[in-house]
Structure 1
Amino acid sequence: MTTETYAALAQRILATEPRLGGVRLVAVDGPSGAGKSWFAGRLAKVANIPVVHTDDLLDGWEDQFSFWGRLEEKVLEPLRRGRAATYQRYLWHRQAFGGTPVTVEPAACVLLEGVTAARREIRDELSFSVFVTAPADLRWRRALERDGRHDVAFRAYLERWRVNENEHFAADATAAHADLLVDGAAEGDDDWYERLWPAPAD
């Protein structure tokens, strides 16, 4: 493993070619509780780029994979055509989409964060992809602490979600196609993270 600053990674990403129209689309993928949101948030802050969270476009737990058509219509296609993307977030406590619409301009770079963000369907249009990983027990604890420590129903949903995402990642070979593999269990800070792959250049 080796450490790298978010600033250095931002420079590398901004040096890539746009592949979603004029946008550099960067996927931050990985299993639940691995640290994707933290990683994407730090990178976005350093690089001053917007983030689209796939969880905001899921129509509940059963939409784990089938949300992609909504993402394509509301976000990817407008950005691909050089137009602003606009969508409403899914309000999990209300089980419905609503609230203030989110607008994402076709910036030089846009982050797409969430499970299946780097899936095969979008791979050819990604300028860069990151896969964040962490041990299963740590990911389980994080998910419970974040979303439902005392909620029995949540545990059942999470168990099914984890089985499904494991099957997806195996079939999709997501990590094998990523440009960067990140250790989401490392005790990084606001400035740096630990990468597992690729190895540092000599």
Structure 2
Amino acid sequence: MSLESLHATITDRLGRLERPVNRPLLIGVDGCGGSGKSTLAEALKASCPSPVTIVHLDDFYVPPAELDRSRPESLPVGADFDWRRLKREVLDSVLGGADGKYQRYDWGTERLSDWHEVPACGTLIVEGVTSTRLELAPLYDLTIWVDCPREERLRRGLDRDGEEARGRWAAWMAAEDRYAQSHKPMERADLVVEGV
């Protein structure tokens, strides 16, 4: 599906939704690492006439000091990302008509860093792996799963992060497999699109 036809499909789908006018339209864009979630979110932002805010789930990564990742198979599904903080600081706020505010995770310092505000108007796109997990999916007006073959995702990831990140990508992909199997985001999505 081209971005133009995807935008038309999304616009049509959103036009049929009933929602309060005192909060932003909420769109969740989920998919495994390297599938094209960020690219899709940016394309949607560029094609929307109303103000669009994008929140990246990567900003909610749990700092290493707060989570023992030595045995990833023993962690709860999606433990790398603090979905509770996303819900509390962003989604619950904007659903209640108030601006959201959150601290972004800094991948260089491995700590929470700058504060970001999320206006309670226009359209809010939350993109990232686990963004439409079972606990969050009911909050969105529209959910999208970006599907992409595993080999292509790994290629994209290593192109971006370098060959030295292969081990990290293997661990991430195993965690994403657990998420996809237990939460079934692709099966529950309002729209499934091919990776962009």
Q: Give the structure-2-normalised TM-score.
A: 0.83
Q: CA RMSD in A?
A: 2.3
Indicate which of 42, 55, 58 corresponds to 2:58: 55
- The structure in which a higher percent of residues are strand is 1
**Which digits, 9 at most, give the CA deviation of each residue in 1:102-128, with x for residues without a partner?**
111012321110001111112222111
Does residue 83 in structure 1 map to residue 98 in structure 2? yes
CA contact (8 A) 1:134 1:184 kept: yes
Letter in 2 for 1:74: E
State the TM-score, normalized to the length of structure 1: 0.80
In 2, the alpha carbon distance for the partners of 1:89 and 1:115 equals 16
Correspondent of 1:141 among 155, 160, 179: 155
Corresponding residue number in structure 2 for 1:182: 193
Partner of 2:72: none
State the alpha-carbon separation in 2 of the partners of residues 114 and 123 from structure 1: 13
State how many pairs are aligned: 180
State the alpha-carbon separation in 2 of the partners of residues 103 and 13 from structure 1.
Answer: 28
Question: 1:170 — aligned with what?
Answer: 181
Deviations 1:158-186 (A, max 9, x none): 2111111111111111101111111115x
Task: Give per-residue Cα distances to partners, 1:70-116, cap 9 Å, x unaligned.
Answer: 111211121121111111211101101113x2111012321110001
Gaps of 5+ in 2: 70-74
Q: Which runs of 4+ in 1 moved over 6 A?
A: none
Which residue of structure 2 lines up, in the alignment, with residue 104 of structure 1? 118
Contact 1:78/1:85 (8 A) holds in 2: yes
1:116 matches 2:130: yes
Alignment of structure 1 residues 2-21 onto 2, 5 Å: 2-3=1-2, 5=4, 6-15=6-15, 16-18=17-19
Matched-pair identity in %: 28
Equivalent residue number for residue 35 of structure 1: 36
Q: Please give the secondary structure, in 2, of the residue aligned with 1:69.
A: helix
What secondary structure is seen at the aligned counterpart in 1 of 2:136? Answer: helix
Shift of 1:3: 3.6
Cα offset, 1:13, TM superposition: 4.9
The 5 Å alignment of 1:122-137 reads 122-137=136-151
Q: In the alignment, which residue of structure 2 is the partner of 1:157?
A: 168
Whether contact under 8 Å (1:88, 1:102) holds in the other structure is yes
Task: Report the CA distance shift for 1:49/1:110 in structure 2 as closer, same or farther (over 3 A).
Answer: same
Structure 1 unaligned blocks of 5 or more: 186-202
Q: Whole-Å Cα distance in 2 between the matches of residues 24 and 77 of structure 1?
A: 13
Letter of the 2:54 partner, please give it. Answer: V
Secondary structure (helix, strand or coil) at the match of 1:18 reads coil
Shift of 1:7: 4.0
